[in-house]
Structure 1
Amino acid sequence: MFINKKILGKQMFTRAIVRKPCKAMLNGLTSASLGLPDYDLACEQHQDYISALKECGLQITELPALESYPDSCFVEDVALLTPNLAILTNPGADSRRGETQHIAAAVREFYPNLEKISAAGHVEAGDIMMVGEHFYIGLSDRTDIQGATQLIDILEKNGMTGSMVEMSEMLHLKTGLSYLENNNLLTFGEMHGHTEFSGFNRIEIDIDEAYAANSVWINGTVLVPEGFPKTLNKIEQLGYKTREVAMSEFQKLDGGLSCLSLRF
């Protein structure tokens, strides 16, 4: 089984799985009211995203587009990859539930034995934030108590822990949170004062840069969506190397930087 390396207590990533955007992305789920994405530009931005992952030292598995699933480029939601265990989710969005069967083969190359969330509950991994061996699970319209309970049971059987996070304003937990290692946590909106995260060094993201609350730490570099200078400056002031990535076409579909890859 594939096992990630740890350096100085931090989870170091060596690989990522991504999926090419499909032309049907124009029909993807969204509440953003930013207009339809430009497919060609989305593909350009996706390739730059892959370049950014490679710059962080990752080997990339790029899966083909799935025209039957408009949101399928957001691979993060359909699987949770821990250092020693992979779990296929059961998405809360009806239109996305079939995506898990299409990600399974790629995940199984690195994790031969897969756990699964059953139909009794729903989980999307955009609602899951990993901090060491603990997993915070946001309860949202896409992830329910039954799914979160199943997930925690699976984690505990494999030597990890999980806890549920009450929330009401965000699409996904990681819409308003990003863990940057070193106890640093980007927060937005209802997550600013959330008691679950009182022990972290919280870096509050302003409302006009809310989208940048979904930034991604990979092996010491933080990927930040392009066009959010205040957030970029706050992250750099913490001493991190940064890499901006244009994300305008994925923002139109409520998708963020973490959504576009499974990193392990």
Structure 2
Amino acid sequence: MADPDAAEGTKMVSRIAIVRGVPDSFCDALSMTPPPQPVDLERARLQHAVYVDVLKDLVQEVIELPADNKYPDCPFIEDTAVVIGNRALITHPGAASRQGEEEAIREALKQLRIHISEVEPPGLIDGGDVLYASGMLFAGNSSRTNVAGIESLQKAFPDVRVHTIRVGEGLHLKSAISSISPKILAVEDSPAAIAMFDEIQQKTDGHFKMVKTLGPGAANTVLVGDAVICSATLGLGSLKLEAHYKQHARHVIPVDISEFHKVDGGLTCLSLLIER
């Protein structure tokens, strides 16, 4: 019997990425702990532009939405929707100051003729807590995502199994666990992240392999086809981290988003990827 994950990697897939610009207010973005150095706004914009250019080499189209100064965190567009194929759940972000960011995303997805579902009250959910891997959804029950939000996720994607994973530490599930291939997950080498991976394994009968990655945030990667975008500044350092991931991924692209790391941002946060 053919491996469905292998088939997924070979079939033709149309890929679109949606990104959002960096507002003048970005220095006021939320952070669990104040950064040791303040955010450099112009450097953040330059880093964002490089990230977008990398995406343009990997997908058919990049849709760039304008920044909104009312929402300092608006570049972290991943948190505003979960998209699988032609269906999307518009989220209700867990941080009150971010509620409203999703309006621009809703309109962009409507233009793409994507069927939209909404989170039902009192649901809260951030896209950063949702990992889609091997045809399954893993939803982090965190400070930003509650049980009602996860129930809305299951209703939006009724034919996809949703596994709830407890996020004991950190901001989001994907802050510490992400995909580097259909069956391999990058996992931060910390007790909290290992515990989350163990829960994933328990709920999937050991479906995944794990690649441990040193350094908080270094396990947050973007998988686009057979290419993995990884941090150029976290964990082992860019060259060692690139070599680390190259043992398991065909193409590895380090990108520096150090200004976004200062406010708890990761690589996945900065784009909403659509494959159909």
Distance 1:138 1:83 in 2: 21
User: For 2:218, what is the secondary structure of its paired residue?
Assistant: helix
1:32, distance to aligned residue in structure 2 (A): 4.3
Alignment-mate amino acid for residue 15 of structure 2: T
Tell whether 2:135 aligns with 1:133.
yes
Distance 2:65 2:249 in 1: 34
- Gap regions ≥5 residues in structure 2: none
**Match of 1:202?**
210
Q: Is the 8 A contact 2:81 2:88 kept in 1?
A: yes
Q: What is the root-mean-square deviation of aligned Cα atoms in Å? A: 1.7
User: For 1:51, what is the secondary structure of its paired residue?
Assistant: helix
User: For 1:22, what is the secondary structure of its paired residue?
Assistant: coil
- Residues 83-141 of structure 1: CA deviation (Å, up to 9, x unaligned): 12011000110001111112111111113431010231100010000013211000000
**Match of 1:241?**
251
Alignment-mate amino acid for residue 185 of structure 1: L
Tell whether 2:184 aligns with 1:179.
no
Match of 1:98 among 97, 100, 122: 100
Distance 1:182 1:115 in 2: 26
Aligned length: 255
- Residues 199-252 of structure 1: CA deviation (Å, up to 9, x unaligned): 21111112xx22211011111111011133443222111242111111011001
Q: Is the 8 A contact 2:133 2:182 kept in 1?
A: no
User: For 1:212, what is the secondary structure of its paired residue?
Assistant: coil
1:260, distance to aligned residue in structure 2 (A): 0.4
The sequence identity of aligned pairs, in percent, is 29
User: For 2:149, what is the secondary structure of its paired residue?
Assistant: helix
Distance 1:187 1:100 in 2: 28
- Gap regions ≥5 residues in structure 1: 1-5
1:181, distance to aligned residue in structure 2 (A): 1.9
Distance 2:54 2:162 in 1: 30
Distance 2:14 2:180 in 1: 13
TM-score, normalised by the number of residues in structure 1: 0.91
**Match of 1:251?**
261
Distance 2:89 2:134 in 1: 17
Q: Is the 8 A contact 1:128 1:136 kept in 2?
A: yes
